Amino acid sequence: MAQSALLMLEDGRVFRGESYGAAGEAFGEVVFNTSMTGYQEVLTDPSYTGQLVAMTYPLIGNYGVNAQDQESAGPCAAGFIVHEASPIYSNWRAEESLHDYLARTGVVAITGVDTRALTRHIRSLGAMRGALAPGHTDPDALLERIRAQAQMEGLDLATGVSTPERYVVPAEGDRRWRVTAYDFGVKSHSLQLLAQRGCEVTVIPAATPAEEIVAARPDGLFVSNGPGDPEAVGHALETIRGLADEDVPVFGICLGHQLIGRAFGASTYKLLYGHRGGNHPVRRLSDGAVEITAQNHGFAVRGDENGIPGAPALRATHMNLNDGTVEGLEHRERAVFSVQYHPESAPGPHDSRYLFDRFVDEMARRGAGGERGA
Amino acid sequence: MPKRTDLKSILILGSGPIVIGQAAEFDYSGTQAVRALREEGYRVILVNSNPATIMTDPDLADATYIEPITPEWVERVIAKEKPDAILPTMGGQTALNVALELHDSGVLERYGVELIGANARAIRMAEDRSQFAQAMRRIGLKLPHGGFAKSLDEALRIVESTDYPAIIRPSFTLGGTGGGIAYNRAEFEEQVRRGLDLSPVHEVLVDRSVIGWKEFELEVMRDHADNVVIICSIENFDPMGVHTGDSVTVAPAQTLSDVEYQAMRDAAIAIIREIGVEAGGCNVQFAVNPADGELLVVEMNPRVSRSSALASKATGYPIARIGAKLAVGYSLDELPNAITGTTPASFEPVLDYVVVKFPRFAFEKFPAADATLGVQMKAVGESMAIGRTFKQAWQKAIRALEIGRMGWETGKTPAEDRLKDDTAATLRAALRRPTPERYFQIRRALVAGWSIEEVAELTNIDPWFLAQLRQLVDAEREFAALADPTADDVRRMKRLGFADAQMGALRGESETAARERRWALGVRPVFNTVDTCAGEFPAKTPYLYSTYGDENESERSDRRKVVILGSGPIRIGQGVEFDYCCVQAALALREAGFETIMVNSNPETNSTDFDVSDKLYFEPLTLEDVLEIVHLEQPEGVIVQLGGQTPLKLAEGLQANGVRILGTSVEAIDRAEDRERFEALARELGIRQPPNGLATSVDQAAEIASRIGYPVLLRPSYVLGGRGMEIVYDEAGLRGYFERAVSVSHDRPVLIDRFLEDAFEADVDALCDGETVVIGGVMQHIEEAGIHSGDSACVLPPYMLGDRQVEEMREHTRRFALALGVVGLINVQYAILDGVVYVLEVNPRASRTVPFVSKATGVPLARIAARLMGGESLASFGLPEQIPVGGVAVKEAVFPFNKLPEVDPLLGPEMRSTGEAMGFDDSFGMAFAKAQISAGMSLPQSGTAIITVNDPDKATVTPIARRLHDMGFRVMATEGTARYLRARGVPCDRVFKVNEGRPNMVDHIITGDVALLVNTPLGKQSQYDDYATRRAAIQYGVPYVTTMSAASAAADAISALRSRERTVRSIQERTGGLVKTKPA
């Protein structure tokens, strides 16, 4: 019989289940993801750092884990919550069971939780702090420790997950562009999609001094996704402005999008329970087309179709059709654009990968040495 | 893009009678489309020949034509109604084919009618297998290699590259009709020949066999702005080689990683764009090699389908409704998600539950049919279940099938699981062959300790599914061994989907004891919502399923409420008619201010559209499941008389648990169904019955039969659709019946009735509120006594019965209804012999003919019945004493013989039809002709008629033969018949029987020389002859009749087709002022 385990939320609600993956305790912000596939990519997405991720799809582990579907070196989520873990895995690419993978990499997880009840709880009360712990843990003491954890607001987690050293991802085929990528928790798919488009990507630590980056004059700047509160991240703002002034194309995703917003004066705020899943409809304002997007964010840039408060230089390019939040920005004069969602989409639909093409096109336009037209 | 304003009126084509491969799902989609377009202000014109549908309800479309869905007849509707557009994607293959023909023949252009949803180019590219293959090549997708053949030689050349086994698929046929798998050259040649014959373009596709590969399906929607979304992914439990309609299917896909799923999604999106479905839905089937993930496209349907209905129910995303809106110009983001109300339809539903669909078969009706499942669909219906886990949904879906298994249970004997003995060798061989029982054979293997790998190797079923099943076996073992199960133990079992009955059986308890134990431990289900979004947003629409989780989401309101029990999976004998009645009740009681709560498990139907009732519980119709719903909802009562036998057989158990049954009492139902009590009732009322008796042993049966005189009709009590019913002519036949077919005992008595040879039969449907009775209609059967009422054609009003007998039947019906205290519907069947009326049976419930009568008269019988059950009086509806019929209405049955080539198409007391068509006109002949055309039997107006009948029929056939001759037919007859006819002055030529020489009858049929075949059984010695002839007629599409009364009716029809003007009239025109059930 598996060991009993529990999930406790900061409001005192307890869900009981069984231990899965590594045994022990884990603390973090409890969030839910509605993707029906892609648990491995979710686990290894650095944006989930500091979070206990619940999958709303009830059967997890069905197709195992493999070496190709890692979005970073290993799991990033602080803990994992599922309704029912698969007894076996079955897929031609599978190399290991999810349980063994979690246990091997030390990720504490729980199975047997009514994840729908949990989701409805978070949906109405908001993402909140919580803990996974063995079933016999004293609840009062655990609650106290949960409440002693830091709130997600004001937390800079991105700097912590950034690469300590810069490294280079070579272009696939001929190198056409040199791109600098800020790593705030970059996903390997983003780098791969750039490399496939002829970009040699230099991935740099979050704390790299701005002048160093601007001085290097890359062909383009990529600002990655990442965990935590964008307001708490001080890096990159100056670089974004500096390179934008030099008319270097800048492309941001998720946290990168929020930082681009902040660089030009926009403010961000925390959503009640965020967007995490692979089915969010987003309208592209330029032509009205709807993209089905992969999302993973708890914060958003303030604004609407009419404008971005505090950032007159920016305009919204994409809007979320479910709740009207800003999903994309661009600079009115510079080749700076960003999306709140995940066009690299791993996991998730591939509707938005054209944004990587756009980034490369912007570099191409400048590669010819011409100024960008108004 | 807002909706188009250049269109004013739109024609929607239905799919006609229910056949294997094309069932109630198209009533669901068509009904949604009609509603969706009408609420946009379009004038909606509908053509459908199937009266048992909701879509043909007179207040649904603006103009409803119950006319044949053929190019000829649809053209007449077009000429009359001048619609601006046709929406061809809602009526299955039938609608698509007719629309394409109308396009190709220039009719659409001539009348200026546009195809919306999918244009002719897209339809053709998707349907024409070679064009489709080219399209796939253009977008870099692979198909199972192979090629198209127009001849056997071509096919043999192709199979050299594909090798055996090879798949043969005839082009442009329904539900894979005529398709097959050939394992050797002999089979290949046979199947190619058959396929070429069945294909309207005489073409077959020979495919590389991907038997054993994994099979997936995606439901895709696209709008004019080129937005594309995937509504649902489906993974088949049964691998490639078993038709999807015959497979257990699971949503969402279970064994694909995101990388693989997204590759499939990208492919599906590329396909819908390349094919060019402009606005609407399609489904795409894929095969995946389990060894390396190679992805092949199997096929694409540019229309709604069985799968899209399933996907709609599985996700809460109404594909047909949205598809209709897209077809008139809306884009997905302009339409709301009906479930949340706050988010748009341009999204992809996510599930936080698992859906399992199980097929329902009817092999018990066709003992001669081959029960091996292959590429041609054989299932007649399906159940769907929703659970939080695969295991829970799996067990619930089996329970919902009503096949005598309360979950994933093995049969008590090997035979029940289609095994000749219980040896490992037998089991091993059986597991290699897909049959309806293989799921239960798998359980036997796992219980016996076979490894997952071994079972997977034998069945090609993905090990993931088998591992899930093994967990069930393990859990059973543990539960059975527990000394005293705790609440946690019981809850664990319930989460695995075990029914009380299964849990009781594991511990040697009754179902009731198990339930009481569970209740005592406080273990009750909760109800979760199907919300399209996995809980991310609140749902406005209460679409619910039971599970054993932490939170109940179904809130009881303080309104007056009624629970309506549906009819479960469609099967022979319990078809879409009953779903029609349940939907009518939901609508009528909503009008009357009740909160209506529907319970059903059939994903095809309208009753499981969450828009139909105030609340929908997608649940199996078993006592346990219904009791839990009633426990939560505390309704005023439960309606059991509209859904056929399924809810009826729950009535007693519900009442025993303190649940109020609305309408006719359980006691009255028993009085009508218990043969002895019924006999007493009829005697008391002075209504004559055929001499009869009830036997509890074979000797007693023989004694009764000799007392009442042969021939006798034998049938087990409490059966549906004439199951096990047989006519025997002597004692040897009687004893043979008990040896072969039916066991008899005190618990299972057998009814014995004197069989009234050559009697006419009639059905009467009536309404009663306990005090007054209104006769809805008196229908005369066209086939004589001995043919099951569901299989017989019938006509309303009667055309060959005397007024006195009709009045007598009306009066008898009144007396039965009042004596039983019927509140709601009653159906009485009569036989009339030599002017004397006999009662055959009384059914105090909705009958199969209720929708037919309602369409013919404009009186919504089921709606009124529901209101009577809700407490209103008949008087308040102001019905006339005699309800007029808007012309002559003929109902004809439709049979699955073309799908089951081993079966003799003779009719008998056991019902075998899957559906029905209605012909509606001013004369009997034309109404009958229309009904025949709609049933797929296009009567000729000239040509050769072959007549070969048994001796007793020779006198009857003479005037028919004479009429055919007079109308210019060349009459051919076999020797005896020819001699008889010539002697009576009917010129005819002799034709050889099969064993008499060549060319014989079958040769003539194959050559295409025969326009009509009249054949009645010639007795034992020529059984093979008869059978071969009838099979040939079916295979080569030659109209045939096997009874004298049908032959006479056919002659009337041919005469009408030759002499009368062919016109179409809507039922609104025919029945004028529909009786309204809305409160004034």
Residue B742 lies in a domain: yes
Residue B367 lies in a domain: yes
CA-nearest residue to A292 within chain B is: B347
CA B309 to chain centroid: 14
Mean pLDDT, chain B, integer = 93
For the cut 80, the answer to whether the pLDDT of residue B250 exceeds it is: yes
pLDDT of A357: 98
The model's confidence at residue B174, banded by pLDDT at 50, 70 and 90, is: low
Write the DSSP assignment of A1-39 as a string of letters.
Answer: -PPEEEEEETTS-EEEEEEEEB-S-EEEEEEEE--SS-H
Write the DSSP assignment of B94-108 as a string of letters.
Answer: HHHHHHHHHHHTTHH
Write the DSSP assignment of B144-165 as a string of letters.
Answer: -SEEEESSHHHHHHHHHHH-SS
Nearest CA-CA distance, residue B272 and chain A, Å: 15
- Using a CB-CB cut-off of 8 Å, the residues of chain A touching B459 are none
| Among B256, B292, B343, beta carbon nearest to A37 | B256
Ordered alpha helix ranges (H), B915-1043: 924-934, 951-966, 975-983, 1001-1007, 1023-1035
The model's confidence at residue B918, banded by pLDDT at 50, 70 and 90, is: very high
Residue B122 lies in a domain: no
In tens, the pLDDT along B330-352 reads 999 999 998 988 899 999 999 99
User: Domains along chain A?
Assistant: 4-148 (3.50.30.20), 158-367 (3.40.50.880)
Extract the tokens encoding B35: 């509603």
Of A5-9, B11-15, B278-282, B851-855, the least confident: B278-282
In tens, the pLDDT along B49-97 reads 999 999 999 999 999 999 999 999 999 999 999 999 999 999 999 999 9
Give the whole-angstrom CA distance, residue B21 versus residue B176.
8
Count of CB atoms situated within 10 Å of the CB of B1055? 19
Does A369 lie at the interface with B, CB-CB under 8 angstroms? no
For the cut 70, the answer to whether the pLDDT of residue B721 exceeds it is: no
Count of CB atoms situated within 10 Å of the CB of B904? 18
For the cut 90, the answer to whether the pLDDT of residue B1036 exceeds it is: no
Residue B677 lies in a domain: no
For the cut 90, the answer to whether the pLDDT of residue B694 exceeds it is: no
Orientation of helix B951-966 relative to helix B1044-1059, angle to 10° = 0
pLDDT of B242: 94
pLDDT of B137: 92
Q: Which residues pair with A221 in a beta bridge?
A: A180, A250
Subunit contact A91:B255, Cβ cutoff 8 A: yes
- Is A199 an active-site residue? no
Q: Which helix (H) or strand (E) holds B554?
A: none
Higher pLDDT, B300 or B1080: B300
Residue B90 lies in a domain: yes
Domain boundary residue, one of B713, B739, B755 = B755
Orientation of helix B452-459 relative to helix B463-481, angle to 10° = 130
DSSP 3-state of B478: helix
Give the whole-angstrom CA distance, residue B72 versus residue B65.
14
- Is A254 an active-site residue? yes
CA-nearest residue to B468 within chain A is: A87
> B106 and B180 in one domain?
no
Task: Identify the burial level of B991 via C-beta atoms within 10 angstroms of its C-beta, where 0-12 means exposed, 13-18 middle and 19 or more buried.
Answer: buried
Of A161-165, B629-633, B1075-1079, the least confident: B1075-1079
Q: What is the CATH number of the domain that holds B1040?
A: 3.40.50.1380
> B726 and B596 in one domain?
no
| Contact residues, A window 104-163, toward B, CB-based 8 Å cutoff | 114-117, 119-120, 123
> B705 and B634 in one domain?
no
Domain boundary residue, one of B92, B116, B140 = B116
Q: Which amino acid is at B763?
A: D
> B177 and B296 in one domain?
yes
Q: Which amino acid is at A222?
A: F
The model's confidence at residue B716, banded by pLDDT at 50, 70 and 90, is: confident
Give the whole-angstrom CA distance, residue B352 versus residue A57.
5
- Using a CB-CB cut-off of 8 Å, the residues of chain A touching B467 are 86-88, 90
> B474 and B618 in one domain?
no
CA-nearest residue to A278 within chain B is: B348
> B107 and B208 in one domain?
no
Of A151-155, B487-491, B620-624, the least confident: A151-155
Question: What's B696's DSSP letter?
Answer: S
Does the interface predicted TM-score (ipTM) exceed 0.90? yes
For the cut 70, the answer to whether the pLDDT of residue B189 exceeds it is: yes
Q: Which amino acid is at B245?
A: G
Cis peptide before B83 (omega within 30 of 0): no
| Contact residues, A window 270-299, toward B, CB-based 8 Å cutoff | 277-281, 283, 288-290, 292
Subunit contact B388:A83, Cβ cutoff 8 A: yes
Q: Which helix (H) or strand (E) holds A249?
A: none
pLDDT of B127: 87
Q: What is the CATH number of the domain that holds B719?
A: 3.30.1490.20
Q: What's the number of CA atoms in the CB half-sphere (13 Å) around residue B416?
A: 10
Listing from the earlier edge strand, what are the strands of the sheet with B85-87? B63-65, B43-47, B9-13, B85-87, B114-115
In tens, the pLDDT along B992-1025 reads 988 888 899 999 998 888 999 998 876 554 566 7
For the cut 90, the answer to whether the pLDDT of residue B938 exceeds it is: no
> B209 and B99 in one domain?
no
> B590 and B567 in one domain?
yes
The model's confidence at residue B1073, banded by pLDDT at 50, 70 and 90, is: low
Q: What is the CATH number of the domain that holds B539?
A: 3.40.50.20
Phi, psi values for residue B686, rounded to 5°: 70, 35
Cis peptide before A343 (omega within 30 of 0): no
Q: Contact, B602 vs B383, CB < 8 A?
A: yes
In tens, the pLDDT along B195-210 reads 998 888 889 989 888 8
The model's confidence at residue B176, banded by pLDDT at 50, 70 and 90, is: low
Count of CB atoms situated within 10 Å of the CB of B311? 29
Q: Contact, B116 vs B328, CB < 8 A?
A: yes
Does A372 lie at the interface with B, CB-CB under 8 angstroms? no
Q: The pTM is what?
A: 0.95
Subunit contact B343:A321, Cβ cutoff 8 A: yes
Give Cβ neighbours of residue B410 (< 8 Å, ≥ 6 apart).
B416, B417, B440, B443, B444, B447
The model's confidence at residue B904, banded by pLDDT at 50, 70 and 90, is: confident
Give the whole-angstrom CA distance, residue B53 versus residue B580.
6
> B246 and B168 in one domain?
yes
Nearest CA-CA distance, residue A294 and chain B, Å: 11
pLDDT of B1079: 46
Extract the tokens encoding B662: 């609305």
Subunit contact B290:A35, Cβ cutoff 8 A: no
Name the residue with tokens 């965990």. A227
Does A87 lie at the interface with B, CB-CB under 8 angstroms? yes
Ordered alpha helix ranges (H), A164-254: 188-196, 210-216, 237-245
pLDDT in tens, chain A (374 residues): 579 999 999 999 999 999 999 999 999 999 999 999 999 999 999 999 999 999 999 999 999 999 999 999 999 999 999 999 999 999 999 999 999 999 999 999 999 999 999 999 999 999 999 999 999 999 999 999 999 999 989 999 999 999 999 999 999 999 999 999 999 999 999 999 999 999 999 999 999 999 999 999 999 999 999 999 999 998 899 999 999 999 999 999 999 999 999 999 999 999 999 999 999 999 999 999 999 999 999 999 999 999 999 999 999 999 999 999 999 999 999 999 999 999 999 999 999 999 999 999 999 998 743 333 33
In the set A29, A254, A275, A330, the catalytic residue is A254
> B365 and B346 in one domain?
no
Q: What is the CATH number of the domain that holds B440?
A: 1.10.1030.10
Residue B767 lies in a domain: no
| Contact residues, A window 219-248, toward B, CB-based 8 Å cutoff | none
Q: Contact, B665 vs B600, CB < 8 A?
A: no
Total of domains in chain B? 6
Strands (E), chain A: 4-9, 14-21, 26-33, 51-55, 59-60, 79-81, 84-85, 108-111, 128-134, 167-169, 177-182, 199-204, 220-223, 250-253, 268-284, 290-301, 314-320, 326-331, 336-339
Give the whole-angstrom CA distance, residue B1062 versus residue B1077.
34
Cα angle B230, B44, B607; round to 5 = 55
Q: Shortest CA distance to B787 belongs to which of B885, B910, B896, B675?
A: B910
> B104 and B46 in one domain?
yes
- Secondary structure string (H, E, C) spanning B772-820: CEEEEEEEEECCCCCCCCCCCCEEECCCCCCHHHHHHHHHHHHHHHHHH
In tens, the pLDDT along B502-541 reads 999 999 999 999 999 999 999 999 999 999 999 999 999 9
In tens, the pLDDT along B547-563 reads 999 999 999 999 999 99
> B202 and B338 in one domain?
yes
In tens, the pLDDT along B159-173 reads 887 778 888 988 877
| B437: containing domain | 359-373+385-520
Residue B801 lies in a domain: no
For the cut 90, the answer to whether the pLDDT of residue B431 exceeds it is: yes
Residue B766 lies in a domain: no
In tens, the pLDDT along B366-399 reads 888 999 999 889 999 999 999 999 999 999 999 9
Q: Which helix (H) or strand (E) holds B512?
A: helix B511-520
- What are the b/e assignments for B633-671, b being 16+ CB within 10 Å? bebbbbbbbbbbbbbbbbbbbbbeeebebbbbbbebbeb
- The residue of A84, A275, A286 whose CB has the most chain B CBs within 10 angstroms, and thus the best one to mutate to test that interface, is A84
